[in-house]
Amino acid sequence: NAGVTQTPKFRVLKTGQSMTLLCAQDMNHEYMYWYRQDPGMGLRLIHYSVGEGTTAKGEVPDGYNVSRLKKQNFLLGLESAAPSQTSVYFCASSYVPSGSGGADTQYFGPGTRLTVL
């Protein structure tokens, strides 16, 4: 049981380049999330998904796109990277028991450190 895994762990891009970050979970969770972590700002939600084939915008979605073609995978894409997107990116997944009203413990991957020059 690997939990939540992220690929790659590190990446350096030049401004304008594109890339895709892959998140995979083997816990059969319905909900998946992409966050970015910047010093002094905590975690900010980029996009999230409440099930296969569905995605929604979070707090800071501009410049990113996502896809959830398979339940276990959640991809984050940067079409044209900018220096402002230099950050550590975390994927998370959660299972929300029915009747819990949305109380979810999120399980996080180890992160991807992205530098845009």
Partner 1 sequence: AQSVTQLDSQVPVFEEAPVELRCNYSSSVSVYLFWYVQYPNQGLQLLLKYLSGSTLVKGINGFEAEFNKSQTSFHLRKPSVHISDTAEYFCAVNQRGFKTIFGAGTRLFVKA
Residues near partner 1, by CB under 8 A = 4, 31, 35, 40-45, 48, 50, 56, 58, 90, 92, 96, 100-111
Nearer to partner 1, 16 or 56 (CB): 56
Please report where in the chains the tokens 């009747």 appear, as a residue. 99
CB of 9 to partner 1, least distance (A): 10
CB of 108 to partner 1, least distance (A): 3
The minimum distance between CB 15 and partner 1, in angstroms, equals 26
- Sequence-distant (≥ 6) Cβ neighbours of residue 63 within 8 angstroms: 78, 79, 80, 82, 84, 85
